[in-house]
A and B are shown apart, each in its own frame.
Chain A
Amino acid sequence: MQNKEAIVIGGGPAGLTAALELLKAGASVCLIDRNERLGGQLTKQTHMFFGSEKQYASHRGIDILEILTNSLGKYGNKLEILTETTVVGMYRDKVLSCVSGDKFFKLQGEKIIFATGASEKALPFENNDLPGVYAAGAVQTLMNEYGIKPGEKVLMVGSGNIGLIVSYQLMQAGVEVVALVEAADRIGGYLVHASKIKRLGVDILTNTSVKRAIGKDSVEAAEIWELDEQWQGIEGSERTLEVDTICVAVGLAPLTELLQQMGVNVKYVNELGGNVPILDEQYQTSVEGVYACGDLANIEEASSAMVEGRIVGINAARSLGRSVENADFRIKALRHELKDLRGGPPGDKVRKGLKKLGVAT
């Protein structure tokens, strides 16, 4: 078994910035990701980010990834990157077992930073397992990473930022978005994204959901219906749309399985996407020396994930006895950035969720 100073699990926006801060402070970092490439969901984000300059606003996700990986490149042998490596076991003494190809090995870390992200939720409806029913992020991956259209005609389900952005990206790829349905009575994501697709002629139908997918071996059509105030389908309001793809964008659930394996305390908070680790002021879990950040801690934008990653990186570096220049000032400034990102109506949900978790926002 190899011993490491700091292990970061997950090379997405949160994991990358956490690793960067640790390296900046002089710590050695082992960064593990199950994919072939680092970047997590940044690898497919062709849209420009919001927020402030500090979170790379007006850069595209794919370009932010390049900036971050270039910065990592400066630290040479202080940084060990294990891609195509899946952490499959996690123990209380901070030992983790990993699988890479047909190799199995164990690592132990003095500090472990979890940035495992989240997975897309499914939606219960008849035939929701038919090929052609895809998570919105999957469709984004297929188009933006592999240059492949998911289908020719798409029904988008969910009007959060992912549903809105992926609808736009589908049109950029030359795919028709037949309609976007939203169960709630209003659009969930930023209006600037919604306006963009509305201008291009996409119908956004609120109080509406998908009743069933129709098809034998794959999706051939979708039946949608209107919902009443209790979110129950209204009989007689059904309409059939000719589509070959149903894209499901109904939120994300944090990937806490590994944390739970090692006995970290989690709490179910609906507003944060499901089970989330209970964290202290330092973003440390109930196990000393184990931290969590990004979508794993609460479902938000990549911008907030990058800020959280920095906070965790600084905290972990300090507890390793590394000196971080202006640490207190920087943490304060980063917390302020988070507050800004969570401000206004789009941040209502996450603020409510964090309050339930006992985190000051």
Chain B
Amino acid sequence: MRIKEHPILELAEKPPIPFYFNGKLLYGIEGDTIASALHANGIKKLSESIHLKRPRGFYCAIGNCASCNMVVDGEPNVRTCITPLKEGMRVENQQGKGRIHAK
């Protein structure tokens, strides 16, 4: 779902960044946030509503609404829409409010 041609934006080819989503190896590109890399891979469901377990995607994409919170490298409630993607990140769908693990 990456844009191939655009009249204004310069879309230079960028190096790939490997990461894991629910244990599966995927690739984003340099400059991606976690949420943008997932979206480019066709993944829209990022979290679940706390009580009814309804699927949730991002909503605001500027770090405001908490709809895109996921577990990243064991840390819950990471705002994936503003967190830059890094090589080897382990990204998981968050269930409920998330658990804070002792580091």
- Write out the residue numbers on chain A whose beta carbons fall within 8 Å of the beta carbon of B63: 34-35
- Indicate whether A148 reaches chain B with its CB closer than 8 angstroms: yes
Minimum CB–CB distance from A120 to chain B (whole Å) comes to 6
Among A302-317, those with CB < 8 Å from B are: none
**Among A60, A138, A173, which residue has the most Cβ atoms of chain B within 10 A?**
A138
A220 to B39, CA, bound (A): 16
- Indicate whether A133 reaches chain B with its CB closer than 8 angstroms: yes
Minimum CB–CB distance from A66 to chain B (whole Å) comes to 13
- Write out the residue numbers on chain A whose beta carbons fall within 8 Å of the beta carbon of B6: 147, 172-173
- Indicate whether B23 reaches chain A with its CB closer than 8 angstroms: no
Q: Given A35-B82, A129-B49, A131-B45: A148 and B40 within 8 A (CB)?
A: yes
- Write out the residue numbers on chain B whose beta carbons fall within 8 Å of the beta carbon of A148: 1-3, 36, 39-40
A137 to B60, CA, bound (A): 7
- Contacts from A to B (Cβ < 8 Å): 34-36, 41, 46, 60, 119-120, 122, 129-135, 137-139, 141-151, 172-174, 217-218, 255
Instruction: Tell whether, in the assembled complex, residue B3 and residue A34 are in contact, meaning their CB atoms are under 8 Å apart.
Output: no
- Indicate whether B86 reaches chain A with its CB closer than 8 angstroms: no
- Write out the residue numbers on chain B whose beta carbons fall within 8 Å of the beta carbon of A143: 3
A46 to B5, CA, bound (A): 15
**Among B45, B49, B62, which residue has the most Cβ atoms of chain A within 10 A?**
B62
Q: Given A131-B44, A135-B61, A137-B60: A172 and B8 within 8 A (CB)?
A: yes
- Indicate whether B77 reaches chain A with its CB closer than 8 angstroms: no
Instruction: Tell whether, in the assembled complex, residue B61 and residue A144 are in contact, meaning their CB atoms are under 8 Å apart.
Output: no
- Contacts from B to A (Cβ < 8 Å): 1-9, 11, 31-33, 36, 39-40, 44-46, 49, 54-65, 67, 81-82, 84
A217 to B62, CA, bound (A): 23
Contact count A vs B, C-beta below 8 Å: 100
Instruction: Tell whether, in the assembled complex, residue B59 and residue A134 are in contact, meaning their CB atoms are under 8 Å apart.
Output: yes
Instruction: Tell whether, in the assembled complex, residue A60 and residue B8 are in contact, meaning their CB atoms are under 8 Å apart.
Output: yes
Beta-carbon nearest neighbor of B41 in chain A:
A148
Instruction: Tell whether, in the assembled complex, residue B61 and residue A129 are in contact, meaning their CB atoms are under 8 Å apart.
Output: no
**Which of B5, B33, B44, B55 is the one whose CB lies under 8 Å from A146?**
B33
Counting from the closest, the 8 A-B pairs by CB-CB distance are A131-B57, A138-B61, A131-B44, A146-B36, A141-B61, A119-B64, A218-B44, A149-B1
Q: Given A35-B63, A119-B65, A172-B6: A138 and B82 within 8 A (CB)?
A: no
Instruction: Tell whether, in the assembled complex, residue A174 and residue B49 are in contact, meaning their CB atoms are under 8 Å apart.
Output: no
A217 to B56, CA, bound (A): 9
Instruction: Tell whether, in the assembled complex, residue B60 and residue A132 are in contact, meaning their CB atoms are under 8 Å apart.
Output: no
Instruction: Tell whether, in the assembled complex, residue B57 and residue A134 are in contact, meaning their CB atoms are under 8 Å apart.
Output: yes
Q: Given A142-B39, A147-B9: A120 and B4 within 8 A (CB)?
A: no
A134 to B61, CA, bound (A): 9
**Which of B7, B44, B59 is the one whose CB lies under 8 Å from A172?**
B7
Instruction: Tell whether, in the assembled complex, residue A146 and residue B84 are in contact, meaning their CB atoms are under 8 Å apart.
Output: no
30 contacts between A and B (CB under 8 A): A34-B82, A35-B62, A35-B82, A36-B82, A41-B62, A120-B59, A122-B59, A129-B54, A130-B55, A130-B57, A131-B58, A132-B44, A134-B57, A134-B58, A135-B59, A135-B65, A138-B58, A138-B60, A138-B62, A142-B61, A143-B3, A145-B36, A146-B31, A146-B32, A146-B36, A147-B11, A148-B3, A148-B39, A149-B2, A174-B3
